[in-house]
Chain A
Amino acid sequence: MSTDALRRLTATEFTLFLRDKVGPIFGVLFPTALLCVFGNIDFFTDPANGIDGQPLLHTYTPILVGFVIAMLALNTLPPTLASYREQGVLRRLRTTPVGPARVLGAQFAICLATAVVSVILLLAVARLAFDVPLPRQPFAFALSALLAALALIGIAVLVAAVTPTAKAANAIGSVLFYVMMFFAGLWLPIQAMPAVLRHVSEATPLGAAVQALSDAGAGHWPPAWRLLLLAGYVVVTALLGIRLFRWE
């Protein structure tokens, strides 16, 4: 298979991703807009209301990074993959030299690349407009974000694998999005949760991810178990996804 075909396939999928608008609007613009709203509310910027002596906005920045990842993975991938299967797009590709697996690869690459752009935008606006410091341990931050993105892509593939239609995939994807965002602390930061709820949250993929991002943001490496937990989610969802996903 030529590299030209791979490039063309990825470029085409990216064009469709932009045309669809859901990813660019809800995965890139919306999280940063949310940051700007929070940043203009005194409650979020006054250290007196904060956790561990820092303004709430600092606590919310990694939560919004989780929001970006979850939004892109859970709200764009499942409906796209399920509709490709439902409409026979993948089946049609099976009769060509390229095959359908590469479309999935292109989708993952687009999801990851868009997440990188969106997170950089978010961190830059947080830093420049609202004085939120950049992650003090950038490597740990990047690694945590990458593991989180891979784990959520794995979950997205599982959703697409077990749902028969694009509609169902869309519905389940967005319910999961809200559930995961709850455990990631969107409504109540994990640090402020009661102990039991906090333990549960830290065991969920996005909860673990946000905690790892907070650790890295504050300048220290997340505990090894947290990263291993995320890596475990990546491995398990990838294996299950490969087993369960059907091309038609």
Chain B
Amino acid sequence: MTTVIEVQELHKRYGDTVAVADVSFRVDEGEIFGILGSNGAGKTTTVECVEGLRRADGGTIRVLGLDPVRDRAELTQQLGVQLQDAHLPEKLRVGEALDLYRSFYRTPADPAALMAALGLDEIRGTRFGKLSGGQQQRLSIALALIGNPRVAVLDELTTGLDPRARRETWRLIEDVRARGVTILLVTHFMDEAERLCDRVAVIEAGRVVAVDSPAALTKRAAAELGVERATLEDAFVALTGEHADVH
């Protein structure tokens, strides 16, 4: 298996705040790799360093063998990105946004198929400012995939989507992976991680506390908790225990 994403000893500060203390992981070709962690754990910072949006303060990152900051021109052709929060111009219509982003790439995907898969057909003439949160999110997923990327980094893939849209999005992601695309996925949803991810990294306070398949993590949690069956949520709560917010 070829390694597509390699993050080694990543370190990133914002002034005095250490957002990422020490994060390392590898993602193989065709894998769906999840990043889980509490709010503020450093997930977005990590993936933004992978995307080349932020410059790491320490460590090395390679995506398809490319340095995300130095080799931007080539990497952006092959890497699709969904940001946790980024908007489009208020008055830009859904169809126009897809046509525009499509023109940026050498070998773009078929916009009609993407629109159908994400339920964007009915709103293709709607302006971005008039879309609901979930509709904006679906457009943002479409734009991440419109360049026919070899690697997709999706930050909070289905946040804000209704249950039906979530399932449809999961199916789309599985289809995309079936074509050999490698996917790095940040999520807060344990069912999403269990359904989609081959392996997940759990990040806590800027450090990786576990990397394994969801099944292995739940098995280990069951053993540690001395119960017959544990859920991924049990495993997550146990792993992030010391720093997690107390409710």
- Is A89 a contact partner of B86 (Cβ separation < 8 A)? yes
From 70 to 102 in chain A, residues with beta carbon under 8 angstroms from any chain B beta carbon are: 83-84, 87-89, 91-92, 94-99
A92-133, CB under 8 A of B: which get 1 and which 0? 101111110000000000000000000000000000000000
- Of the residues A19, A89, A94, contact of B53 by C-beta under 8 Å: A94
A9-27, CB under 8 A of B: which get 1 and which 0? 1001001100110000000
Contacts of A2 in B (CB 8 A): 103, 106
User: Does B201 reach chain A (CB closer than 8 Å)?
Assistant: no
- Is B53 a contact partner of A97 (Cβ separation < 8 A)? no
User: Does A52 reach chain B (CB closer than 8 Å)?
Assistant: no
Contacts of B83 in A (CB 8 A): 88, 91-92, 95
User: Does A5 reach chain B (CB closer than 8 Å)?
Assistant: yes
Contacts of B51 in A (CB 8 A): 95
- Is B89 a contact partner of A16 (Cβ separation < 8 A)? yes
- Is B91 a contact partner of A20 (Cβ separation < 8 A)? yes
User: Does B100 reach chain A (CB closer than 8 Å)?
Assistant: yes
Q: How many residues of B contact A (CB 8 A)?
A: 27
**Contact of A97 with B104 at beta-carbon distance under 8 Å, contacts A12-B96, A91-B53 already known:** yes
Cβ distance B75 to chain A, nearest Cβ, rounded Å: 9
Contacts of B77 in A (CB 8 A): 97
Q: How far is the CA of A97 from the CA of B107 in the complex (A)?
A: 12
Contacts of A243 in B (CB 8 A): none
Contacts of A94 in B (CB 8 A): 53
From 28 to 64 in chain B, residues with beta carbon under 8 angstroms from any chain A beta carbon are: 51-53
Q: How far is the CA of A83 from the CA of B89 in the complex (A)?
A: 8
User: Does B88 reach chain A (CB closer than 8 Å)?
Assistant: yes
- Of the residues B91, B103, B106, contact of A16 by C-beta under 8 Å: B91
Contacts from B to A (Cβ < 8 Å): 51-53, 73, 76-77, 79, 81, 83, 85-92, 96, 99-101, 103-106, 143, 147
Give chain B's interface secondary structure class.
loop
Cβ distance B98 to chain A, nearest Cβ, rounded Å: 11
Q: List 8 additional contacts besides A1-B104, A2-B106, A95-B76; criterion CB under 8 Å.
A: A9-B100, A12-B96, A87-B87, A88-B87, A89-B88, A92-B143, A94-B53, A95-B51
**Interface centre among B77, B86, B91, by most A CB within 10 Å?**
B86
Give chain A's interface secondary structure class.
helix
**Interface centre among B91, B104, B105, by most A CB within 10 Å?**
B104
**Contact of A8 with B103 at beta-carbon distance under 8 Å, contacts A94-B53, A95-B79, A97-B73 already known:** yes
Nearest residue, chain B, Cβ from A86: B87
- Is A91 a contact partner of B86 (Cβ separation < 8 A)? yes
Contacts of B85 in A (CB 8 A): 88
Cβ distance B127 to chain A, nearest Cβ, rounded Å: 8
Nearest residue, chain B, Cβ from A80: B89
Contacts of B88 in A (CB 8 A): 87, 89, 92
- Is A4 a contact partner of B86 (Cβ separation < 8 A)? no
Nearest residue, chain B, Cβ from A102: B104
Q: How many residues of A contact B (CB 8 A)?
A: 24
Cβ distance B165 to chain A, nearest Cβ, rounded Å: 21
Contacts of A15 in B (CB 8 A): 96
Contacts of A84 in B (CB 8 A): 89
Contacts of B81 in A (CB 8 A): 92, 95
Cβ distance A95 to chain B, nearest Cβ, rounded Å: 4
Nearest residue, chain B, Cβ from A7: B103
- Is B92 a contact partner of A12 (Cβ separation < 8 A)? yes
- Is A95 a contact partner of B53 (Cβ separation < 8 A)? yes
Cβ distance A23 to chain B, nearest Cβ, rounded Å: 13
**Contact of A89 with B73 at beta-carbon distance under 8 Å, contacts A95-B53, A95-B79 already known:** no
Cβ distance B70 to chain A, nearest Cβ, rounded Å: 15
Contacts of A8 in B (CB 8 A): 99-100, 103
Q: How far is the CA of A2 from the CA of B106 in the complex (A)?
A: 8
Contacts of B86 in A (CB 8 A): 87-89, 91-92
Contacts of B90 in A (CB 8 A): 83
Nearest residue, chain B, Cβ from A95: B81
Contacts of A98 in B (CB 8 A): 104
Cβ distance B90 to chain A, nearest Cβ, rounded Å: 8
Cβ distance A216 to chain B, nearest Cβ, rounded Å: 37
- Of the residues B76, B92, B99, contact of A97 by C-beta under 8 Å: B76
Q: How far is the CA of A89 from the CA of B85 in the complex (A)?
A: 10
**Interface centre among B77, B81, B101, by most A CB within 10 Å?**
B101
- Is A4 a contact partner of B103 (Cβ separation < 8 A)? yes
Q: How far is the CA of A233 from the CA of B89 in the complex (A)?
A: 30
Contacts of A99 in B (CB 8 A): 76
Q: How far is the CA of A20 from the CA of B90 in the complex (A)?
A: 10
